[in-house]
Every structure is written in structure tokens, then in C-alpha cells.
Amino acid sequence: MLHCALIFLPESTVSIARQASEITLPAVNNGWHTVLQFLCSQFPFISEAIWRQRIATGKVYWFNGESITEHTPFSPSKRLCYYREVTAEPVIPFAHQIVYQDEHILVADKPHFLPVTPGGEYVNECLLARLQRETGISDIVPVHRLDRETAGIVLFSLNAASRAQYYQLFSEGRVQKQYQAVAKLSAEAQHCALPRHWHIANRIEKSQPRFLNAIVPGPVNAVSDISLVVKAGDIGLFQLSPHSGKTHQLRLHMLSLGMPILHDKYYPELLPKQPPQFDKPLQLLAASLGFIQPDSNKLLQFSSGFSLKVLPGTAP
């Protein structure tokens, strides 16, 4: 079930980030005489005229607050701040939910299609920016990520002093994550007894284009347990437990079983870019998240209020 949010903006709206992004200039100068030349090289899809305008209006400056001009020399290893902006930012008409908040963390339930952080054509229409506006807290940092197409539970840190402890929970594998997915069944899976289990351990690396990943030979760095729990004709509902956190891991592991997740626009085939198809969300849900909270030593468990496409003969 998708929660609708009545938020619509005119297509001509220019979205400007509420907070500045940061970039550290390379330690080695690759022939850039000015900061402007570096920015044009680093961000080739933004024209020089736009960078000149941003610099002239104070939207690009050194980390210490010192302003720059179009003639400011390139300074190796110096930190630069700039404000991201896009024209006609897409608006995602589905609401998130805050399911838990204390002095250390905030747990949110993210709808499909909404990115966790700014990126590409999304600046203010992301879960992070929404939470900052809703809570009035600027120091909110995601401890892990979900793909924009994936719905479900996301953990954020609110406290810089305890933040490293929550990163460590994930890096040490002390977070229990459960996902659900719907996929078209292979011929073998259509005739197997339930539940059917798979343990997958392989290596995932970056591919081309750079936002795709692929399973490749080499030492294992991606491990998942997958179970088929419900069948309805040639469609199945799966429970997935990732034991590592590689990008697109569950999508690739389902693909490796010959059962790519329904409405996946990346795997097995990269589909042409198009506006979001709100009636066809990727059928992948971060259903639950659980861990022992470092400061309180309490077991915290959270479940998503979203659901996947209802299978014939199953409860919604």
C-alpha cells in the first residue's frame, strides 16, 4: 500500500538545495587554472554559463566561507561548497512515515520512488530533505541506504557523538535485515515444495554504466539467504536476508536465480530512462530492521507499513 501525499509543484519550479554540498579539490592539479575550470570538468552536464552565474550569486564558496570569483585559482586539496539546483525536479506523491525517534536515531518508512539523499534530478524531493523540513533538525545522516526504487525502513543518525556506533552495527553485521520481493517464478520454482531456500555467496563489482553492478568471478563479498514462501501461478513472494550490503545485491541475487524482481528497470535489461511509473513500483521492500541499541543495550525492531503487490490468494 502506498501512502499518498498531496504535494505537487509546477514543472517550471527550480529546486535549490537547502544545504550546501562539499567537494575537496584533487591533490594533483590536472591542468585546471581556475576553480571554474575544475567545476566545468568535474560536472560536464552543467554548462560554464550556469557555473559562472552560480559563482556570481554566491552559491559557490570555500569551506571557510570565503567567496570565490570566476578567476579564483585552483587550490589543490582545498574544500569547496556549492548548492545543487535542478529545473523541474520530480515530485513523488507518496508520503514517508517517521516510525521512531530518540536523541540518537530516527527511523523512517520510505515509499517507493523516493531517493534517500539528493542525487541527479532530485534535490529537495528526497527522504533526507523531507525529514529535515519535518523535524527542524539539520544534522540528520543516513546510516545506510536504500535504492530509490525500494521501499521500507531506513535508519538515520541524529547525534554526531554516537554516530560511529551505528555505522559499526552495519559494518560488523550486527543488524538483522529482512526484505520481501515479488518475482515471476522459474519453471523449477513453480513445481518446488514450499518453503524453498537458496544460499547465495558470490562477488559483486561495479559495471557499466557506472550505476549498474554485476556478479563477477573472485573472492566472495556478497551473501544472501532467499526463501520462496508463497506461490500464486507463476508469481512468487520471497523473503530475503542480506548478510552484506553491496549495491543492488538482492536484485542481482534474484536475477542469478533466474527470477528477476518484478518491475526492475535495471536487471536483467537496462530500460530507457522515463518518468516514474507510479503504478509499477519495483517489487522490493525493506520489511524490517532490528539491532541492539549501543547506548541502551535494548533490542529495537522496526517493521514497514508498506506492502508489495498482493498475490492472488494471499492476504494484503
Digit-coded pLDDT (tens) for 227-244: 999 999 999 999 999 999
Q: To the nearest whole number, what is the mean pLDDT of the chain?
A: 90
- CA-nearest of 84, 95, 69 to 123 is 84
Residue that the C-alpha cell 535549490 belongs to: 16
| pLDDT surpassing 50 at residue 3 | no
Does residue 60 carry a pLDDT above 70?
yes
Q: Determine which of 85-99, 104-118, 176-190 has the lowest per-residue pLDDT on average.
A: 85-99
Omega within 30 of 0 (cis) for the link into 209:
yes
pLDDT at 118 over 80: yes
Q: What is the DSSP letter of 113?
A: T
Q: How far apart are CA 72 and CA 5, in angstroms?
A: 44
| Type of residue at 160 | A
C-alpha–C-alpha distance, residues 26 and 77, integer Å? 5
2 or 127: which leads in pLDDT: 127
Determine how many CB atoms are found less than 10 A away from the CB of residue 282.
Answer: 22
- Could you tell me how many residues make up the chain? 316
- Distance, in Å, from the CA atom of 68 to the CA atom of 56, rounded to the nearest integer, reads 8
> What pairing do the DSSP bridges indicate for beta strands 284-292 and 151-157?
parallel
Indicate the DSSP class of residue 148: T
**Cα 221 to Cα 202: distance, rounded to the nearest angstrom:** 6
Q: Are strands 176-184 and 235-242 parallel, antiparallel or unpaired?
A: antiparallel
- Largest distance between two CA atoms of the chain: 70
**Do the Cβ atoms of 135 and 174 come closer than 8 Å?**
no
Handedness of CA 40, 41, 42, 43 (dihedral sign): positive
Tell me the pLDDT band of 274, cut-offs 50, 70 and 90.
confident
The secondary element (H helix, E strand) that includes residue 167 is helix 163-171
Please report, rounded to a whole number, the percentage of residues in the chain having pLDDT higher than 90: 77
- The β-bridge partners of 156 are 106, 142
The mean per-residue pLDDT over the stretch 252-271 comes to 97
Q: What is the pLDDT of residue 32?
A: 95
Nearest to 268 by CA among 280, 259, 277: 259
CATH architecture of 21-82: Roll (3.10)
Q: What percent of the chain has pLDDT over 70?
A: 92
What CA–CA distance (Å, rounded) separates 307 from 111?
10
Q: Please report, for residues 5, 128, 293, 296, the alpha-carbon distance to residue 169 in angstroms, rounded to integers and kept in the order given.
A: 33, 21, 9, 14
What backbone torsions phi and psi does residue 116 show, to the nearest 5 degrees?
Answer: -75, -40
The pLDDT of residue 20: 77
Yes or no: say if 129 and 142 are a contact pair by the CB < 8 Å rule: no
How far is residue 176 CA from its own chain's centroid?
Answer: 18
What is the distance between the alpha carbons of residues 90 and 121, in angstroms, rounded to a whole number? 7
**Pairing verdict, β 14-16 and 60-62:** unpaired
Q: Is the pLDDT of residue 55 over 70?
A: yes
pLDDT at 121: 76
pLDDT tens for each residue of 9-32:
343 356 677 777 889 999 999 999
**How is residue 197 written as a grid cell?**
531456500
Rounded to whole angstroms, the Cα distance separating 111 from 152 reads 7
CB 284 within 8 A of CB 260: no
DSSP single-letter state for residue 209:
S
* Lowest-pLDDT choice from 94-103, 114-123, 153-162: 114-123
- CATH fit for domain 97-303, picks 3.30.2350.10, 2.60.120.860, 3.90.180.10, 3.40.630.30: 3.30.2350.10
Instruction: Report domain extents, the chain.
Output: 21-82, 97-303
pLDDT at 316: 41
| Mean pLDDT score, 44-54 | 87
More confident residue, 7 or 56: 56
